[in-house]
């Protein structure tokens, strides 16, 4: 069984689809019931409405599961693009709560099930912001740095147990909501993020990376898989213009 959080859209939904295609019994977890229902009708995954920041809800969810072989901590997001000097503290609190504490709650709650099987895998979807800061990204980068630290520490603490800890760190991914949510619904600002970039990553690209790491033999651990579009050589080095012909 595989549990995927943040599965109502973007990378989470694409990962749920990809793991279901690989034969996993997938439990798709997210806050938006209607989107989960449509995903379940499309793919056969099991929907579960849950906010990963709700500690009691997470514990109740874990108690209802009979087993868990794979946990994909994908729920997260960015809010705001203000400089540190003018940032809204509430935005930082939200990003830390969802990206870091949500991952912590899910990991703690499902770890006994992951340990109980013949071998478990925890995949945490972070970001290249987890190791490179950039202007306007202080809150998101801080949250993703913390999420990366969580994964690295957990890997050390589980050494000697058959549970893999994998980090997948995407660069620029174009999904329908990430930039739009970050820019508080400003479609023009969201579109400008990707303007002129030839083939940003898609949610499906990242899902393929998750599936690759999960599908390797249990003795093979991908500590960190960094994936970017070809147009993005680094967090601060982005080519805007054509790369590929027709």
Could you give the residue numbers annotated as active site?
140
The neighbour count for residue 4, using CB atoms within 10 Å, is 32
**Which runs of consecutive H residues, i.e. helices, occur in the chain?**
10-21, 33-43, 55-64, 89-95, 102-116, 138-157, 178-182, 187-194, 203-215
- Distance separating alpha carbons of residues 8 and 82, to the nearest angstrom: 27
Angle between helix 138-157 and helix 102-116 axes, rounded to 10 deg? 20
How far out from the chain centre does Cα 114 lie?
19
What is the four-CA torsion angle of 133, 173, 74, 29, rounded to 10 degrees? 150
d(CA 207, CA 131): 21
d(CA 226, CA 204): 15
Give the alpha-carbon dihedral of 209, 161, 119, 171, to 10 degrees.
Answer: -10
Contact between residue 154 and residue 102 where contact means Cβ atoms under 8 Å apart: no
């Amino acid at each position: 069984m595989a549990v995927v959080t943040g599965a109502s859209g973007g990378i989470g939904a694409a990962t749920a689809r990809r793991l279901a295609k690989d034969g996993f019994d997938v439990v798709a977890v997210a806050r938006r019931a209607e989107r989960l229902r449509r995903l379940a009708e499309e793919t056969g995954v099991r929907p579960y409405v849950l906010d990963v920041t709700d500690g009691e809800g997470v514990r109740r969810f874990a108690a209802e599961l009979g087993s868990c072989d794979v946990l994909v901590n994908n729920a997260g997001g960015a809010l705001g693009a203000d400089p540190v000097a003018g940032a809204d503290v509430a935005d930082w609190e939200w990003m830390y709560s969802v990206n870091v504490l949500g991952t912590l709650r899910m990991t703690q709650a499902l770890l006994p099930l992951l340990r109980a099987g013949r071998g478990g895998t925890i995949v945490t979807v972070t970001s290249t912001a987890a190791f490179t800061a950039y202007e306007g990204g202080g809150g998101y980068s801080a949250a993703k740095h913390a999420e990366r630290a969580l994964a690295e520490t957990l890997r050390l603490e589980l050494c000697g147990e058959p549970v893999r800890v994998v980090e997948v760190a995407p660069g620029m991914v174009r999904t329908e909501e990430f930039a739009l949510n970050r820019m508080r619904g400003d479609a023009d600002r969201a579109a400008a993020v990707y303007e002129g970039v030839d083939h940003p990553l898609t949610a499906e690209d990242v899902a393929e990376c998750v599936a690759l790491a999960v599908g390797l033999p249990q003795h093979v651990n991908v500590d960190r898989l960094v994936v970017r579009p070809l147009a993005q050589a680094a967090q601060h080095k982005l080519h805007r213009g054509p790369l590929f012909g027709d």
